[in-house]
Amino acid sequence: MSAPRLRLLVLPLVVVLSALVPASEAVFPTASFRVQSSDPVRAPQGMVVSEHWRASEVGRDVLAAGGNAVDAAIATGLALAVTHPSAGNIGGGGFMVIRFPNGSSTAIDFREKAPMAANPEMWLDERGEYDRQLHHYSHKAVGVPGTVAGFDKAHRLYGDMNWERLVYPSMALAQDGFEVHDGLAGGLERLVERMERYPATVQAFSKNGRAYQEGDTIRQLDLATTLQRIMLNRRDGFYVGETARLIVEEMRRGGGLITAEDLEMYQARERAPIHGRYRGYDVIGMPPPSSGGVAVVSMLNMLEPFDLSAMGHNTAPYIHLVAETMRRAFRDRAQYLADRDVVDVPVHRLTTKAHARALMSDFQTDAAGVSAPSDVAADHESPETTHYSVVDSDGMAVSVTYTLEAGYGSGITVGGGGFLLNNEMGDFNAGPGLTDENGLIGTAPNLARPQQRMLSSMSPTIVARDGNLVAVVGSPGGRTIINTVLQVVLNVIDFDMDIQSAVNAARIHHQWLPDRIRIEEDGTSEYTVELLESLGHTVSLGGRQGLAHSIMIDPRTGERLGAADPRNPNAGARGH
Degrees (nearest 5) of the Cα angle 467, 472, 477? 145
The single-letter DSSP state of residue 17 is H
Q: Where are the alpha helices (DSSP H) in 512-566?
A: 526-534
CA 210 to chain centroid, in Å, comes to 32
The single-letter DSSP state of residue 454 is P
Per-position b or e across 504-524, b if 16+ CB within 10 A of its CB: bbbbbbbbbbebebbbbeebb
Catalytic residue among 259, 385, 401, 403: 385
Contact 94, 57 (CB under 8 A): no
Count the Cβ atoms, other than its own, within 10 Å of residue 251: 23
Q: How far apart are CA 526 and CA 532, in angstroms?
A: 10
**CB under 8 Å to 5, separation ≥6 — which residues?**
none
Contact 247, 417 (CB under 8 A): yes
CA 155 to chain centroid, in Å, comes to 22
- Cis peptide leading into residue 555 (ω within 30°): no
Count the Cβ atoms, other than its own, within 10 Å of residue 293: 31
Contact 51, 549 (CB under 8 A): yes
Q: How far apart are CA 459 and CA 453, in angstroms?
A: 16
User: What does the CA dihedral 197, 199, 200, 205 come to, rounded to 10 degrees?
Assistant: 90
Distances (CA, A) of 200 to 119, 354, 373: 29, 53, 42
Angle of helix 147-158 relative to helix 69-83, nearest 10 degrees, comes to 160
Query: Is 557 one of the catalytic residues?
Result: no
Give the CB-side neighbour count of residue 560, counting CA atoms within 13 A. Answer: 28
Q: How far apart are CA 476 and CA 23, in angstroms?
A: 32
Strand-pairing partners, residue 413, are: 420
What separation, in Å, do the N-terminal and C-terminal C-alpha atoms of the chain show? 54
Q: Which residues are part of the catalytic machinery? A: 385
